Amino acid sequence: MKIIRLPAKLAAYALRLKRNQQSIGLVPTMGALHDGHLSLICSARKENDFVCVSIFINPKQFSAREDFKKYPRPLSKDLELCRKAGVDIVFLPEAEDIYPEGFGSFVDLPAISSLLCGKTRPGHFRGVATIVLKLFNITRADNAYFGQKDAQQAVVISRMISDLNLPVKLRVMPIVRCNDGLALSSRNVYLNKQQRQDAVVLYQALCLARCLIDHGLVDTQRLLLRMRQLIAKHQTAKIDYITAVDLNSLKPIKRISQGCLIALAVKFGKTRLIDNIVI
């Protein structure tokens, strides 16, 4: 497994691979790898000649109030996981090589970036779209792997690929969960014991939603109220949003229909968790 730190070096390497007609699968991560990431790597491994995992905690997608500094950085464990998973290249850049002095170009999707998580995280999706476009260009990826857990991120990137005619195929892989249903996230390590127990309610609320819909409930307001009531039973849980939206536009829908996204963000102490299901 090769570790490459300089963007220009990876770009030159990727160019050689492409000239030899090799396909490249990219798994962009911020490290702190868990089984969710490994499922992405596993799919990338099956579908490409070369697999590149990037590990970069992107400062431009954190606001000043957020957890950039304390975000977990278990690098040697991450590298070991990549090695075992058959990764060919780990891209491990420094922030100053990704954003050199004078950097000033951004990819912005103002309409869908201001909804859901964008309401409380201004600038977040601009930071995400910008780094992802850069990674696509550096690695010349044919396929790029993202988790459905970050549903809005997947929608933003899908829209960006389509709008900007990017020559890359997006592969959004299913959410990987703990046995009790909590979606895997690098931020789960922030939870204390009580918060960790209570956090299961996110998945329970989504399961309740699916059950109610299966039994004929179509009124969004009534559905979301039932989910809110369930979550409110847990004192450590503070709802940021619960919403049902169109999967393309991310705009709220009044009546539940097939293909809609039910998404939520809930804070447990300072830790903000997200989860979702597609109906």
DSSP at 141: -
Angle of helix 220-232 versus helix 200-214 axis, rounded to 10: 150
- Give catalytic status of residue 34 as yes or no: no
- In this structure, the dihedral spanned by the alpha carbons of residues 133, 138, 139 and 140, taken in order and rounded to 10 degrees, is 70
Report the distance separating Cα 256 and Cα 273, nearest Å.
Answer: 23
Report the distance separating Cα 145 and Cα 154, nearest Å.
Answer: 10
Q: How far is the CB of 161 from its own copies (least distance, A)?
A: 9
118-135 burial, b at 16+ Cβ within 10 Å, e below that, comes to beebebbbbbbbbbbbbb
- In this structure, the dihedral spanned by the alpha carbons of residues 221, 222, 228 and 229, taken in order and rounded to 10 degrees, is 150
Q: How far is the CB of 195 from its own copies (least distance, A)?
A: 36
Q: What spatial distance separates the first Cα and last Cα of the chain, rounded to whole Å?
A: 39
**Amino acid sitting at position 34:** H
Nearer to its own copies, 130 or 195 (CB): 130
Nearer to its own copies, 81 or 135 (CB): 135
Nearer to its own copies, 78 or 150 (CB): 150
- At residue 224, the 3 state secondary structure works out as helix
Q: Which of 37, 124, 215, 234 is catalytic?
A: 37
Q: Return residues touching its own copies (CB under 8 A).
A: 7, 11, 15, 19, 21, 102-112, 129-130, 133-134, 137-138, 140, 159-160, 163-167, 248-249
Q: How far is the CB of 99 from its own copies (least distance, A)?
A: 8
Nearer to its own copies, 126 or 234 (CB): 126
Contact 14, 140 (CB under 8 A): yes
Q: How far is the CB of 82 from its own copies (least distance, A)?
A: 22
Nearer to its own copies, 162 or 194 (CB): 162
Q: How far is the CB of 60 from its own copies (least distance, A)?
A: 12
Which residues are tagged catalytic? 37
